[in-house]
Structure 1
Amino acid sequence: MNVPSANPPLIAAADKGDMAAVERLLGEGARVDVMDATGRTALMAATQKNDLPLARRLIAAGSDVNARDITMLSPYLCAGANGFNEILKLTIASGADPHSVNRFGGTPLLPSSEKGFLRTVRVCLTAGIPVDRANDLGWSALLETVILGDGGRLYGDVVEALVGAGADPHLRDRDGKSSLEHAQALGQERVLAIFRGEGAAAGPGAAMIRQAKQAEKAEHYEEALAIIAAALAQHPADADLTYYKGYYLYELGRHEEAIRTFETVLASSPDEVEFHFYIAYAYRAMKQPEAALAAFDAGVAKKPETPFLRYHKSNYLRELGRHEAAVAVMDELLARDPGRYDFAFHKGNSLRSLGRHEEAIAAIEIAIASDPGNPLYRRHKAQSLKLLGREA
């Protein structure tokens, strides 16, 4: 049995990305799945750093891709939630359970869809993860994509991938609303076109975009980029084509070029605020958090009434462990829309991470009042009460 300890040397070495130390410790007989006080293994530490060579070495040494930490994350679930595609593929090939779920009851398909990690969504679908499985919030991947996306180019492609895999736009959430009804209420015209079977691209470069997408689905990003570059030579002002150029550069790891490409759209069309999101994600991939947060803020300043960029900024702040700032963003969102009990729930989780359990309980109570029968909210309230030494 793995008994957690404070800071096992193997995990400390993995945290530092020190392959030589990992090799030495394994050679000396260190247990590959030893856990620290939070239930992390060395493989989880390598996954959190997106360190593919180290993850590959630890899996080869027998590390369990399904081993969970105290937050119920496994290396497989962590890789899927963060868009670490090569580690995700490695864990799937190494015996990951495609039906395993995180503490919210979601497979990796849900957070990857929510965050707009299109490539990760494709990996999940190829692995056979059930496309319509709902989490404990009552949301399927398609519902999350519509509710928490912006209906723009990237999220339209996520919707297209999910629908192509058989996702049901008529599946209803716990409030009785379907993805189709949410998309109608939110005015997501690209998404509605996909639901009608028309496809999202409709501009002069639409045929070339469809051709590029075929190459993209096979992960032939250089080929997809070449197709788009040829189309842009004919239609240089087409914002859809410019988006795909930036997206393929992003997937090829050419993040600075992707940012410059996205910025060309904003220079001519400042209202295309979704491009601030794409820029933020490129900076995220470059591990430049302040630049990423500034990109989110630039978009928020242009359209303060839309929750999309604020929500994803708060997601990123939680990822960075900046829970005070995440709570502040959630407060902004709740001030504009007090009925969003999912926002209140996420605020409660950040407050709990800060040790502010009474406030966390108060936030989660808002969610419970909106959806009294949801066991997820009651479970999280019970956890906060337990941390306060009180019974649920």
Structure 2
Amino acid sequence: MEPAMDLYEAIAAGNEAAALEALDAQPRPPEEQRRPTPVLWALYHGHRDLARTLAGRIGHLDLAEAAALDDAPRVRQLLDSGEPVDGRTPDGYTPLQLAAFFGGSQAAVPLLERGADPGAVAGNPMRIQPLHAAVAGRHHDIAARLIAAGADVNARQQAGYTPLLAAAGNGDADLVHTLLDAGADPQLADDAGMRPADLADQHGHEALAAELRKA
């Protein structure tokens, strides 16, 4: 008989049965409490349905999980109970950063209303801000909301990446236009010297690259 899979191994593999078996076997041991929660781990590995299944089995969502799963009523409930709006996950992310990356457009509303920092920097080497996360996830509505809340459109994350560099590399013309209209600098290069037009070209978005060179 094969040994039971570790909880995090099962989640990463998208093995729902093994993940639930491991989850039911015992509560999270102390060493796992320094890791992302099982729900977030599932989201990090692209298993959104599994994340919801795990959340249902656990029976509640913490603020970061609720933000990532776009559960705005739960976000409001936790904020009303005194949860810090910019509290950090063990790997250094704020609820707003997670909402921005995973498309939590409804959850982002109460977070920003309660004072979540649109310029919070992740406490890990990636150093993303919420706008970087929204652009990476291609969530236009959240990006626009963050810009309206005062997010720095020229903020740099790891390797000197700006939101405009990410949007250009993704070929996301609508986000490129939104960022340019908000004052993003098309001449800012990353640490390797690549400008937005260069990244657009590199990824096969020639028309967008030409537009950026004229911006």
Which category describes the TM-score, using the shorter chain as reference length?
A: 0.5 to 0.7
The answer to whether 1:87 aligns with 2:137 is: no
> How many equivalent pairs are there?
157
Match among 14, 18, 21 for residue 74 of structure 2: 21
Structure 1 contact 113–145 (Cα < 8 Å) conserved: yes
Pair 1:158 & 2:208 matched: yes
Paired letter, 2:170 = K
Match among 61, 64, 75 for residue 130 of structure 2: 75
- Distance (whole Å) between structure 2 residues aligned to residue 163 and residue 64 of structure 1: 32
The aligned residue for residue 175 of structure 2 is: 120
- For 2:91 and 2:185, how far apart are their aligned partners in 1? 29
Amino acid at match of 1:127: A
State the secondary structure of the residue aligned to 1:72.
coil
TM-score, normalised via structure 2 length: 0.67
Rate the CA distance shift 1:161–1:56 in 2: closer, same or farther, 3 A.
farther
CA distance in 2, matches of 1:83, 1:164: 24
Contact between 1:13 and 1:19, CA under 8 Å: does it hold in 2? yes
Mapped contact 1:5–1:35 kept (Cα < 8 A): no
The amino acid that maps onto 1:26 is: L
Which structure has the higher relative contact order (CA within 8 Å, separation 6+)? 2
Measured in 1, the distance between the counterparts of 2:136 and 2:98 equals 15
Question: What is the TM-score when the length of structure 1 is the normalising length?
Answer: 0.38
**Cα distance 1:82–1:14, how it changes in 2: closer, same or farther (>3 A)?**
closer
Asked if the contact 1:55/1:87 (under 8 Å) is kept, the reply is yes
In the alignment, which of 137, 155, 161 is matched to residue 106 of structure 1? 161
2:203 to 149, 166, 179: 149
Once the two structures are TM-superposed, the CA of residue 83 in structure 1 deviates from its matched residue by: 2.0
Tell me if structure 2 keeps the 8 A contact 1:100–1:107: yes
CA displacement at 1:5 relative to structure 2: 6.9
Q: How does 1:231-380 map to 2 (within 5 A)?
A: none
Confirm or deny: 8 A CA contact 1:82 1:112 kept in the other structure: no
Larger Rg: 1 or 2?
1
Contact kept, 8 Å, 1:118 with 1:157, in 2: the verdict is: no
Give, in whole Å, the separation in 2 of the partners of 1:41 and 1:62: 12
C-alpha contact 2:173 2:208 (8 A) present in aligned 1: yes
CA contact (8 A) 2:121 2:129 kept: yes
**Runs of 4+ that moved beyond 4 A:** 4-8
Q: Is the contact between residue 86 and residue 95 of structure 2 (CA under 8 Å) also seen in structure 1? A: yes
Superimposed CA distance per residue, residues 219-257 of structure 1 (whole angstroms, 9 cap, x where no aligned partner): xxxxxxxxxxxxxxxxxxxxxxxxxxxxxxxxxxxxxxx
The 1:5/1:26 distance shift into structure 2, 3 A limit, reads farther
Q: Counterparts of 2:138 and 2:109 in 1: how far apart (Å)?
A: 17
Change in Cα spacing, 1:28 to 1:5, as seen in structure 2 (3 Å) is farther
Of 84, 90, 105, 1:31 maps to 84
Q: Which residue of 1 aligns with 2:98?
A: 45
Question: Superposition RMSD on alpha carbons, in Å?
Answer: 1.9
Could you say what secondary structure the match of 1:159 adopts?
helix
Identity %: 27
Deviations 1:360-391 (A, max 9, x none): xxxxxxxxxxxxxxxxxxxxxxxxxxxxxxxx
Change (3 A) 1:159 1:53: same
**1:21 deviation in Å?**
1.4
CA distance in 1, matches of 2:137, 2:63: 23
* CA distance in structure 1 between the partners assigned to 2:171 and 2:196 by the alignment: 11
